[in-house]
């Protein structure tokens, strides 16, 4: 009886090892084929994914629990490749709020209204500026 249990157990282990090794090989191929065969749900979804980002806007929760570090970035506009943007990306590590960082980055695409003008203003100011500078640039 013991020999039978050992034999069944070893057969199951061998089966399991073979199955997982084959599964790993076929999963990679299946992933590659499934990625190639995937089609967007509709043309509008595909176009949305292809839009280019014109600029990024930093937004806080704007309440009493927002810390001073996060408030300093409120209303700032950045070009998407600006080096400072990568260091302050929410959740901001320097946030002192007891609720944690609740800030967000708002990504604006090039087909939005005034995005081209705002992007050119940002380029003139080194890739980053505040809301007031943007308003002056749009008014002038």
pLDDT by residue (tens digit) across 84-123?
988 888 988 889 999 899 999 999 999 899 999 999 999 9
The predicted pLDDT at position 44 comes to 62
| Domain map (residue ranges) of the chain | 1-38, 47-139
Instruction: Give the residue, 24 or 77, on which the prediction is more confident.
Output: 77
Q: Model-level pTM?
A: 0.61
DSSP summary character for residue 15: H
Asked whether the beta carbons of 70 and 97 are under 8 A apart, the reply is yes
Q: pLDDT value at position 31?
A: 47
> What is the structure's pLDDT at 22?
76
To which H or E segment does residue 10 belong?
A: helix 2-37
**64-79 pLDDT per residue, tens:** 999 999 999 999 999 9
- pLDDT at position 34 is 45
Collapsed DSSP state (helix, strand, coil) of residue 57: strand
């Amino acid at each position: 009886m013991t020999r039978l249990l050992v034999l069944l157990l070893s057969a199951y282990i061998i089966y399991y090892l073979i199955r997982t090794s084959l599964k790993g090989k076929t999963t990679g191929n299946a992933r590659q084929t499934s990625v190639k065969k995937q089609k967007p749900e509709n043309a509008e979804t595909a176009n949305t994914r292809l839009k280019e980002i014109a600029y990024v806007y930093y937004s806080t929760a704007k309440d009493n629990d927002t810390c001073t570090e996060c408030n300093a970035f409120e209303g700032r506009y950045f070009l998407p490749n600006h080096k400072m943007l990568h260091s302050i990306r929410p959740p901001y590590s320097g946030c002192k709020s007891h609720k944690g960082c609740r800030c967000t980055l708002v990504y604006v695409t090039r087909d939005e209204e005034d995005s081209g003008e705002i992007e050119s203003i940002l380029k003139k100011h080194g890739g980053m500026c505040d809301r007031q500078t943007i308003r002056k640039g749009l008014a002038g």
